[in-house]
Every structure is written in structure tokens, then in C-alpha cells.
Amino acid sequence: MIHQLNFQKKAIYDSLEVGITIETILRLGDIETICEAKVDTGSDICIFKREIGEYLEIDIELGYKKRLSTLAGGLSAFGHSLELETLGLKFETFVYFAEDYALDRNLLGRQGWLQLVKIGLDDYKNEIYISPQDEEIY
Amino acid sequence: MTLTIELTPEIESRLEAEAKRNGMSKTDLAKNVIEERFAPKEKRQNHIPEGVKPRYVGKAKTRDFSGDREWLAENRNEYIGQHVALHGKHLIANGESYKEVATKAREAGFKDALIVFVEDPNAPPFVEFIS
């Protein structure tokens, strides 16, 4: 049996970057910033560098605190609601900012991003396909 | 069931510090961690607070980042370990910290600069899972 998925958008990601890296816009009120984030299907959440939250003038410690585990040990992070934009799709969502400054990569994980989209990957060609979840394809 | 666990002094001190920060005993914190780790899938903690419902808002017109990527491909090696603010094929600012570089770019009139931390392409392979 053949299964077919249709997507609204296709983008090419940079093969020179570490991981599958896409431009990501974070916006809170009038402030926005464009950073890079790695698509990480193994991550339960979306997490960004603390400095990015500070740039958005978020009081990091007022967020929803979570202790997280990683392959390299544990870390604490604080969750905040904001607007996130990836590959031309905009979401009102919930992401975490690391408590420490040491986190050096931003990750787009399941809750807050992957569960809101449907994605297809052709890593050989550096292609990513994306649609919002449950959205009709035009 | 009662468990007795031998911890290294380093782990014990980290457990103690985290328990103190959360206002709970070391035993309760360890119990929480184990319960969360082994809970049935449907009972695992949601990482988003109750009442917060992430949703798709709509399409957005994002600028083309191909020039930024071209610049990175050509100049990456000179800026390893730094943050750079890019707009098209132009470097707007560079420095150690994200905040400093993003602020410089905004003050220079580039609110839509792409801020990139330039990683060393020869660094060990990237592996990351967060739960």
C-alpha cells in the first residue's frame, strides 16, 4: 500500500549547518528576533537560549519551571507563551528558555512545534516539507 | 517499596541543591523524578501548563535567507564561536553574546537580521535529546 502526504511548503535547509537547522522567528509584543533552531524529533519540548528570552525582555524565572534531562545531563528551563514563526507558518505557542547561559543550540521539539505541524524530510537533498496540522492543502 | 541508593558526592550535592531550590526534601525530589520517568505514557506529565493551548495562527511572509546563507558559507571560518547578525549578504554585527549582537543589529535599523551562532564545522557530531 502506498501512502501519500501533501504539504503546503517546501524549503531547502543549509547542509553546512550542524543538524537540520531552520530560521525561526520569536516574537513577543513589539519585539522580535530571528534565530536558527534545530529540528529535534527526540526533544519533548522547544528550548531556546536564555539570552534570546532576555532580548525579548522576558523575565525568564517567572516562567513555568521544568527540570529537563538530556543525553549529556540535566538542565532547568522556564516556559513562556509567545509567537513562533518557522518556514512561513505562524504559531501561538509555548517554548522554554534555558536557565543557564551554557545552552548553545535552540531546539524545535514535539510540544510547542512538531505537534502543530506535519513535516516531511529528504535529508539527502536537504529538503523539508511542512504544513500546519489538520490544515487543508491548497 | 523502599529503595536504598548509593549516590556519588557530586550527584548528592546537585540533588540537595535542586531540592532546596524547589523547597522539597531530597527523597521527595528523587521520588518525583522516578515517578515521572516511569509513569505510563498516557499519565506522563504534559510539559505545557494547563490552559495553554498552542495553535497555528496563519501563514506569514518571511524574507529570503539565501543571501545570509551564502555569506555564512563564505565567511563561517572567520567567525567560529561568535554570534553574527546577517541581512542578505551583509554582516551587520558580530560579538560574543546573542543579546549584544541582536541589539546592535536593531539599532542599525535591521530588525529582521538573522542572528546565528557560528559553530565549528569540525566539532564532534551533534547529538541531542531533551525530555
The Cα B129–Cα A84 span in angstroms is 21
Across the interface, whether the CB atoms of B49 and A64 are under 8 A apart is answered yes
pLDDT band, very low/low/confident/very high, at A3 (cuts 50, 70, 90)? very high
Long-range contacts of B49-53, Cβ-Cβ distance < 8 Å, separation of 24 or more: B49/A64, B49/A79, B49/A94, B52/A81, B52/A94
Position A138 pLDDT exceeds 50: no
Q: Measure Cα distances from B116 to B9, B59, B83 in Å.
A: 38, 24, 5
pLDDT digits (tens, 9 = 90+) for A24-60: 999 999 999 999 999 999 899 999 999 999 999 999 9
Task: Tell me which amino acid residue A27 is.
Answer: R
Q: pLDDT tens digits, residue range B77-128?
A: 999 999 999 999 999 999 999 999 999 999 999 999 999 999 887 877 766 6
Closest chain A residue to B125 measured between Cα atoms?
A18
Separation CA B123–CA A63 (nearest Å): 33
CB contact under 8 A, A68 and B130: yes
C-alpha cell at B4: 536504598
Does the beta carbon of A1 lie under 8 angstroms from any beta carbon of chain B? no
State what percent of residues in chain B have pLDDT above 70: 86
From the CB of residue B32, how many other CB atoms can be counted at a distance below 10 Å? 15
pLDDT at residue number B41: 56
Tell me whether A69 touches chain B (CB under 8 Å).
yes
Specify whether the backbone of B109 is left (phi greater than 0), alpha (psi in -120 to 50) or beta: left
Over residues A120-128, the mean pLDDT reads 95
Per-residue DSSP letter, B41: G
pLDDT grade for B3, boundaries at 50, 70 and 90: confident
Q: Looking at residue A40, what is its pLDDT? A: 93
A126 touches chain B (CB under 8 A): no
Give SS3 for B65: coil
pLDDT tens track for A82-106: 999 999 999 999 999 999 998 889 9
ipTM summary value: 0.89
Q: What is the pLDDT of residue B40?
A: 62
Instruction: Report how far residue B86's alpha carbon sits from residue B71's, in angstroms, rounded to the nearest whole number.
Output: 8
**What is the rounded CA–CA span in Å between residue A82 and residue B102?**
18
pLDDT at B42 over 70: no
Tell me the C-alpha distance between B47 and A66, whole Å. Answer: 8
Residues on chain B touching A53 (C-beta within 8 angstroms): none
